Structure 1
Amino acid sequence: MSDADSFIDEVTEEVRRDRLFRLMRRYGWIAAVVIVAVVAGAAYNEYRKAQATASAQALGDAMLAALANDAPDQRAEALAGIEADSPGGEAVLDFLTAAARAEAGEIEAAVADLQDIARNGDLPGIYREIAQFKALTLQAETLSADDRRLQFEALAQPGKPLRLLAEEQLALIDISEGETEAALDRLQAILQDAEADAGLQQRARQVIVALGGTPAPALGQQQG
């Protein structure tokens, strides 16, 4: 490289450096603001995580303290006095409160707690369906068979997470109405369903035998 070329490169580099310094003096504050914002955002996220963790721990401690009561009515009262700051935490509280109230014989109050969960659009569908299912089982003596059948049929649709449990309840409704063959068909179908767990299969077999039927081999036993 000639001295002239070297000199030109050095001048060009100086020009670039000078231009960069001028840009930094003019716009450098933007970079500083961005850096501060990023650091502040990260700090705020960590703070929020810490707050959420502390809140969850406090809620868990309060629940455990309430559940330590031996009497179900006292558990229900203690649980009802706890406040949660998230829809999920509130749903868990309502489930526990409903269970305590049901155990204490406060069926209407338990059903009301569960129906609150079932109507809460901020919760995942599975929460709402579990609440609806449990509320229906608690109303076996107070809600007409037709109303319960209609709602259990909605829960028994293909793809529903509680489909087989709803089918079991429908079979029990069939039995209560004297429709033995319909109940047997439902229970046999449960035994043939690949999604039926061992506990559900066992209950289905017991009811089939009690009705005078012969349980068909479960799907896994047929394949074996």
Structure 2
Amino acid sequence: MADIFHEVDEEVRRERLAQIWERYSWLIVGVCVLIVVGVGGWRGYDWYIARQAAIAGREFETAVTLSEQGKAADAEKAFAKVAAEAPGGYRILARFRAAASLAQAGKKDEALKAYDALAADPSLTQAWQDLASIRAGYLVVDAAPLAEMQKRLVPLADSNRAFRHSARDLLALSAWRNNDVAAAKKYLGMMSADAETPPSIRSRADMLSALIAGNDKS
């Protein structure tokens, strides 16, 4: 008896499925087609992005090699091409390396302009902008007035900024070079009080503190 009821239930289910298919077959087929096309499109896009990244990587390496070989003009063109055409990550790296290549070639003003453009670029994250400001600071620290260095770097010296240690290091050095002992001690104190100050920067701070202390005694 149970088998008979089971066969009846199976027949009813088959009839319902047949009715659903007859009514909605076009929709089911359409959804299946969309899924297949979507998966295929995603796979194609993924392949395209990977291919573009590989091309950008090779072009970036070529530009770096040209820079290391001292071929500044060729390197500048190669970096410019990557910065204009490559995916986002490589564009940023190319702009930074192009600025560094200009600095190595003795084109300090052009390098500074390139770093300042990066620091002011709202499309970049805060960390990238801060790194550009630090690189610019290293270019001008030997000659720039303390007021200019403070304008560039004081916001970066806050405790929540990624490159605060380098910013404080540059500010202390600039203050010392500009004979502002009070400002130098202020930034040295910030480095001393920060437990996360890297050993290399802490060592330079100790040396500068010793120089200032020696001058105070003389």
Judged with a 3 Å threshold, the aligned counterparts in structure 2 of structure 1 residues 161 and 205 are, in CA distance, closer, same or farther, namely same
**Structure 1 CA distance, aligned partners of 2:202 and 2:77?**
37
C-alpha contact (below 8 Å) 1:172/1:183 kept by paired residues: yes
Task: Report the 3-state secondary structure (helix = DSSP H, G, I; strand = E; otherwise coil) of the residue aligned with 1:61.
Answer: helix
Match of 1:50 in 2: 50
CA RMSD, aligned part only? 2.6
Judged with a 3 Å threshold, the aligned counterparts in structure 2 of structure 1 residues 78 and 46 are, in CA distance, closer, same or farther, namely closer
C-alpha contact (below 8 Å) 2:175/2:181 kept by paired residues: yes
**Structure 2 CA distance, aligned partners of 1:200 and 1:46?**
43
**Structure 2 CA distance, aligned partners of 1:80 and 1:39?**
35
Q: Is 1:19 matched with 2:46?
A: no
Match of 1:197 in 2: 198
- C-alpha displacement at 1:171, in angstroms? 1.4
Stretches of structure 1 that go unaligned for 5 or more consecutive residues are 214-224
Match of 2:61 in 1: 61
Judged with a 3 Å threshold, the aligned counterparts in structure 2 of structure 1 residues 17 and 96 are, in CA distance, closer, same or farther, namely same
- The 5 Å alignment of 1:44-123 reads 44-72=44-72, 75-82=75-82, 83-123=84-124
**Structure 2 CA distance, aligned partners of 1:202 and 1:94?**
31
Judged with a 3 Å threshold, the aligned counterparts in structure 2 of structure 1 residues 58 and 142 are, in CA distance, closer, same or farther, namely same
- C-alpha displacement at 1:137, in angstroms? 3.0
Report the TM-score, using the length of structure 2 for normalisation: 0.81
**Structure 2 CA distance, aligned partners of 1:71 and 1:31?**
56
Judged with a 3 Å threshold, the aligned counterparts in structure 2 of structure 1 residues 205 and 74 are, in CA distance, closer, same or farther, namely farther
Stretches of structure 2 that go unaligned for 5 or more consecutive residues are none
State the number of aligned residues: 210
Task: Report the 3-state secondary structure (helix = DSSP H, G, I; strand = E; otherwise coil) of the residue aligned with 1:44.
Answer: helix
1:63-96 Cα offsets, whole Å, 9 max, x none, are 2342342355554455345444233222211211
- C-alpha displacement at 1:99, in angstroms? 1.2
- C-alpha displacement at 1:49, in angstroms? 4.1
- C-alpha displacement at 1:176, in angstroms? 2.9
**Structure 1 CA distance, aligned partners of 2:9 and 2:73?**
85
**Structure 2 CA distance, aligned partners of 1:36 and 1:156?**
53
Q: Is 1:166 matched with 2:200?
A: no
Task: Report the 3-state secondary structure (helix = DSSP H, G, I; strand = E; otherwise coil) of the residue aligned with 1:136.
Answer: helix
**Structure 2 CA distance, aligned partners of 1:173 and 1:73?**
32
Q: Which moved more, 1:92-101 or 1:116-125?
A: 116-125
C-alpha contact (below 8 Å) 2:133/2:153 kept by paired residues: no
- 1 or 2, which has the higher helix percentage? 2
Amino acid at match of 1:94: R
C-alpha contact (below 8 Å) 2:57/2:90 kept by paired residues: no
**Structure 1 CA distance, aligned partners of 2:121 and 2:62?**
23
**Structure 2 CA distance, aligned partners of 1:155 and 1:69?**
34
Task: Among all aligned residue pairs of Structure 1 and Structure 2, give the percentage whose two residues are the same amino acid.
Answer: 23
Match of 2:36 in 1: 36
- C-alpha displacement at 1:54, in angstroms? 2.2
**Structure 1 CA distance, aligned partners of 2:51 and 2:3?**
61
1:111-143 Cα offsets, whole Å, 9 max, x none, are 121122112222222111110122233234665
Q: Which moved more, 1:38-47 or 1:162-171?
A: 38-47
